[in-house]
């Protein structure tokens, strides 16, 4: 009976989540099960609030996204936003509109992925809302983080001459998605790496905190919709432009190098950090942060445009071809 509810009633479902996701954490006065949750902000800290939807057939496809990955990715998106401010994630609320065709097994997998990532980042699930719907399943993860007063890094602080850095390798998630969508199961280690990067992206909280605490980044954001789109947003917020060096951009290893650059420039959902550093501080950025490579890919310019220099030394305008819900439609 695929249409029978996976739980007896809403209380039963909420209790199940509560049993699995609750934990005692600092500052939490009241968790799941009342009209609202209560938290006490630590003194000397600001609170960071972010919310990210994950919608079936928009952000995920049940055909090739395992439920565990869907749960992981739903929370990873929000943790990445906290990382991009230089903060530490603490408390999550979960709004879950479950399609009537959803099985208890699917929900178990979904929550296993979400709770595993929550545990890894010491995030407590403190509340939420649930509904059953006829249409697509949709998830909204609300995340509260903390950051010491005045330390949060915004998008608007980049200035002419600042060096532009990215963490990790860009375009892996888009490559992994392409492989999954065409039914490829990952034949080579490189393909498996790309698929894993897509299904289980790792938010870069430790790097974000390192940069904010040491006041190294003048601006920061996470790369969720693709470098060309997200860098444009950073430039617009900062009232500046950027010039990138194409050959320096850390692209995936695929046989076609122009395809690799396209993936790195326009592929979204890598959840790596994009940050700018004043020239005087650029030497303080290590080449690796733990095992994570940090790469200088260009510089901020006064001229308010996005440009890219190619391997032959010519400079071209850089189009924003990343993800935009309203433009694509």
25 binding a second copy? (CB under 8 A) = no
Establish how many alpha carbons lie within 13 A of residue 148's alpha carbon, considering only the half-sphere containing its beta carbon.
9
Helix (H) or strand (E) holding 309: strand 306-309
3-state secondary structure 175-206: HHHHHHHCCCCCCCHHHHHHHHHHHCCCCCHH
**Which is nearest to 202 in space by CA: 323, 77, 64?**
77
Q: Please, which residue, 79 or 179, has the CB nearer to a second copy?
A: 79
Placement of tokens 């550093």 in the chain = 277
Q: For residue 44, give the DSSP letter.
A: T
5 binding a second copy? (CB under 8 A) = yes
Q: Please, which residue, 127 or 298, has the CB nearer to a second copy?
A: 127
34 binding a second copy? (CB under 8 A) = yes
Per-residue x/- mask for a second copy, residues 87 to 106, rule CB under 8 A?
x---x-x-x-x--x------
Q: Please, which residue, 114 or 195, has the CB nearer to a second copy?
A: 114
Contacts (CB under 8 A) with a second copy, residues 134-153: 134-136, 138, 140, 142, 144-145, 147, 149, 152
296 binding a second copy? (CB under 8 A) = no
Q: How far is the CB of 267 from a second copy (least distance, A)?
A: 17
Q: Please, which residue, 136 or 296, has the CB nearer to a second copy?
A: 136
Size of the residue set binding a second copy (CB under 8 A): 76
**What DSSP assignment string belongs to 107-130?**
HHHHHHHHHHHHHHTTPEEEEEEE
Per-residue x/- mask for a second copy, residues 38 to 77, rule CB under 8 A?
xxxx-x--xxxxxxxx-x-xxx------------------
Phi, psi of 81 (to 5 degrees): -65, -40
Q: Please, which residue, 120 or 233, has the CB nearer to a second copy?
A: 233
Strand-pair category, 292-301 with 306-309: unpaired
8 binding a second copy? (CB under 8 A) = yes
Placement of tokens 């940090």 in the chain = 294
């Amino acid at each position: 009976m695929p249409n029978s509810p996976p739980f007896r009633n809403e209380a039963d479902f909420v209790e199940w989540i509560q049993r699995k996701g609750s934990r005692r954490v600092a500052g939490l006065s009241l968790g799941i099960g009342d009209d609202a949750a209560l938290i006490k902000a630590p003194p000397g800290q600001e609170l960071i609030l972010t919310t990210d939807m994950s919608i079936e057939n928009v952000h995920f496809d049940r055909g090739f996204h395992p439920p565990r990955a869907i749960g992981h990715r739903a929370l990873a998106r929000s943790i990445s936003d906290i990382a991009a401010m230089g903060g530490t994630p603490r408390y999550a609320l979960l709004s879950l509109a479950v399609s009537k065709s959803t099985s208890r097994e699917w929900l178990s997998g979904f929550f296993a992925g979400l709770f595993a990532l929550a545990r890894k980042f010491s995030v407590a699930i403190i509340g939420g809302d649930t509904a059953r719907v006829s249409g697509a399943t949709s998830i909204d993860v609300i995340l509260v983080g903390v950051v010491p007063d005045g330390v949060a890094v915004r998008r608007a602080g980049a200035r002419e001459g600042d060096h532009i850095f990215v963490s990790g390798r860009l375009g892996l998630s888009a490559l992994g998605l392409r492989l999954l969508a065409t039914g490829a199961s990952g034949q080579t280690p490189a393909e498996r790496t790309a698929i894993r990067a897509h299904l289980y992206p790792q938010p870069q909280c430790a790097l974000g905190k390192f940069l904010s605490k040491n006041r190294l980044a003048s601006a920061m954001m996470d790369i969720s919709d693709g470098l060309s789109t997200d860098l444009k947003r950073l430039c617009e917020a900062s009232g500046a432009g950027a010039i990138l060096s194409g050959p320096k951009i850390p692209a995936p290893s695929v046989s076609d190098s122009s395809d690799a650059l396209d993936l790195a420039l326009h592929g979204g959902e890598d959840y790596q950090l994009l940050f700018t550093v004043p020239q005087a501080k650029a030497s303080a950025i290590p080449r690796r942060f733990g095992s994570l490579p940090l790469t200088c890919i260009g510089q901020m310019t006064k001229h308010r445009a996005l440009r890219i220099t190619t391997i032959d030394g010519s400079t071209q305008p850089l189009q924003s071809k990343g993800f935009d819900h309203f433009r694509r439609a």
